[in-house]
Amino acid sequence: MMRKVVSQFGEGPLQQKLSTGDLHFLSDAYSTNGGNGTGPTPHEYLGAALAACTSMTLKMYASRKSMNLENAVVTVDIERVNDVETFTREIQLQGSLSAEEKERLIEIANKCPIHKALAGEIQIKTQLVT
């Protein structure tokens, strides 16, 4: 089961202190957007989630299939145009891999849980707690 993520006000105008379990990290806005730039923006965390999930999924799959995947470098950029978020994901596969293995790994990248969550239907349930 996934640990809950908690966000609360941090230092400065927009910084947020985030925690999940015993892990603590920050999020902030760029100084041009009123923050102090002390941590990744929420959109950067969203991109990081897709990038990390993709490379983890590729590593697990390649290991199970005994592929010679030495590294998967995943870069994600997010651009918003006309209320549409476009995720551009670039995957660099390093290692001695055949063309068929590379093709299969790209198919597997599209099966990572975060990719599936972002590409599928999403519901956000908001409730006020006291």
Q: Are residues 101 and 67 in the same domain?
A: yes
The answer to whether the CB of 75 falls within 8 A of the CB of 51 is yes
106 belongs to a structural domain? yes
For 98-102, what is the mean pLDDT?
A: 98
For 71-93, what is the mean pLDDT?
A: 96
Q: Taking the complete model, does pTM exceed 0.85, yes or no?
A: yes
Q: Are residues 33 and 52 in the same domain?
A: no
Listed residue (14, 44, 47, 9) closest to 31, CA to CA: 14
Please state the length of the chain.
130
Bridge partners (DSSP) of residue 23 are 20
* Phi then psi dihedrals of residue 17, to 5 deg: -95, 120
Query: What pLDDT is attached to residue 1?
Result: 86
Q: Are residues 12 and 31 in the same domain?
A: yes
Give me the domain span that covers residue 102: 42-119
Q: Are residues 64 and 30 in the same domain?
A: no
* Structural domains counted in the chain: 2
